[in-house]
Chain A
Amino acid sequence: MNKFFEKQTIEEQKARKTIMEVAYLSLSAFLFLTMILAGLPNSFATTAERVGYLIQGFIALVSLICYVLSRLGNPTIGAYFIPSGLLLMAVYFIYHSGIGTPNDLFFITIIVIASITVGIRGTALFTALSIVAVVGLYFAQRNGLLLIKTEISFLMIVIILAHVLGNSFILIFLIRTFNKNLYRAQEANQELRQLQASLEQRVADRTRDLGIASDVSRQITRVLDLDILLPELVERTRQGFNLYSVSLFLYDQQKEELLLVAGTGREGARMKSEAKSFHISARPSLVAQAARERSNVVINDVEKSDSYFHNPHLPETKSEAVFSMLVGERLVGTLDLQSKEKNFFGGEEIQIFVTLAEQIAIAVRNADLYGLQTKAAEELRRSDLMKSQFLSSMSHELRTPLNAIINFTELVALGMVGPVNEEQKELLDNSLKSSLHLLHLINDVLDISKIQAGKLTLFIEQDVDLYAELKTVTEMVLPMFRDKPVELVQDIDDHLPVITGDKRRIRQVLLNLLSNAIKFTDKGTVTMSAKLQDDEIVFAVIDTGLGISPEAQSVIFEPFVQTVDGIKMEQGTGLGLPISRSLVKAHGGELWMESQRGDGSAFYFTLPANRKS
């Protein structure tokens, strides 16, 4: 058949066949109808001509049937069969009706059928046969061999032949053009389809690559233990990208060495067990080269490369790419990929590997940081524990002798072991006061250590009676008012609720604020107030003393900071206020101050009235 057909897809062949069939059937049907019409009794033609036309219409009908029959068998045979049969019929018919009638149409019909069904070669063959037939018939007529004897001129024959030939050429040209265009269109279509397919393939490849990369990335962010992460990482990368081998080297800055920490397959395990490493200056070594240059080295055909170092463990490597792994400017290591295919690393996937290397670098850095952090946290925990133990034992060891000093001094001062005179008593009282101060100091240091270690815990009770605590505190501070013209004023609400909190710590705060107030007030009043405001109780300790300068106010809550006046007093530790503030905060309240130099100070703190723990 037509040579173009061979290049066509099944669908195109089908399409072409349909066109052909429609054309052929239409033509045959047209011929059949016109010949039948021409053969009707009232047409323009003579009776003999009408019979001729009817016979032609009948032949067209036969050819239609023949075609349909041929479709059931071999189309090629069918295709040649029809025009051949028609040609024979035409010759037979002209033999009866004579040449010179419009029978040349017959030949043209045959040529058209040949053109459509069997292509150019068939067309040429049938054209030649038609011409031979016409010429043969002409000479047959001249010699009186035909049944109908009409006068026919040579010119007539030439016109018929020209008609047949002209029509044939036009047809051949048309069909060729049609075929060419069709072929071009098919070619273009095919190209487009191939392009689309390759695009789709590339998109699929990229999607797959990105999928693997993101899979690996997810792994990176999830696992912080490098011993688990890295082997899994290289294995996934190898499988995902269908590589021959993937290994990961980490850079040891001190040794200036790249050490293999993970490799795929048995070879990888062997290299790891051999502690395979490269010095950064090693040549030839792609791993060292990539590390040195802080870049990526790609060799797409190892046989043609002189910088390729043949690895006996990996004999099948055809192409290799090494990516340096950097965090900022710092070299973390290299990612070594090897493939059994040449030119494996030529495409755009390079960018994906670059990104992958970057991500692994970050993962390694994160894991390092995490390791350091864990270690630091562990050390911190240990030192914290030691500190707690030290504080606990110091608390006990320091206090025991101090307690004895306090007890004996007090007992002697009270005259329990014999009479003491006024001077002795005064000295003993001073000694007692200093001992108590020292004890207080130890307690404060312990408290602040706990606060700074975040270990302050409250002993919470549900039924703290603030009146009872205020009374206790008042009783404790009243002796301090004895020697001064300072009055303690109490302004306490009648309906304070029972609250939830640590009694001892609440007392501690009040005691601290009150003793501070008395310490720095020479005359006037110290007012202690407690009022319920909304859902909190606001405590205030207001004095008419020296007041506190703005500079001092800014540091007064810092541990171990004492105001100039405080230092002059030679009392206190500078810890009372920071401890008090922390204690109040631990209760869910706030502690603050207001003061003007020379105009007294006011310390406020709040405790939640409905605190539930």
Chain B
Amino acid sequence: MPHIVDNPLTANQEVLENLRLELRRGCLILAVLAELRIERYGYTLRKALADRGVEIDEGTLYPLLRRLESQGLLMSEWREEDKRNKRFYHLSKEGKSVLKQLTSEWNAISQSLDKLLNGVA
């Protein structure tokens, strides 16, 4: 009787998935920082990112927000909205400066990669 495998990911797909996650990790930080130039709480932030084509699950987003706040890049406060307490995040002064530097870094990498990847896909 053939053995049925629950997770049909092949080794190659697994490597691809790991590389994809690695590639996304840094990009997500940049996307979150950019989106938090405007104050938002977690749920609306996730929706705003999704609307711009950057999907991020809650299990990744909320811990990331905490980490960025502990690094001093974000500031947050609890406020009531729609009869419920929500935690609003926005960029700190340091966060704005880091976003600026990361953006120029991103632009440089993006330009170089555009040249490198020209004709790959």
The judgment on whether A and B are partners is: no
| Residues on B facing A (Cβ under 8 Å) | none
| Residues on A facing B (Cβ under 8 Å) | none
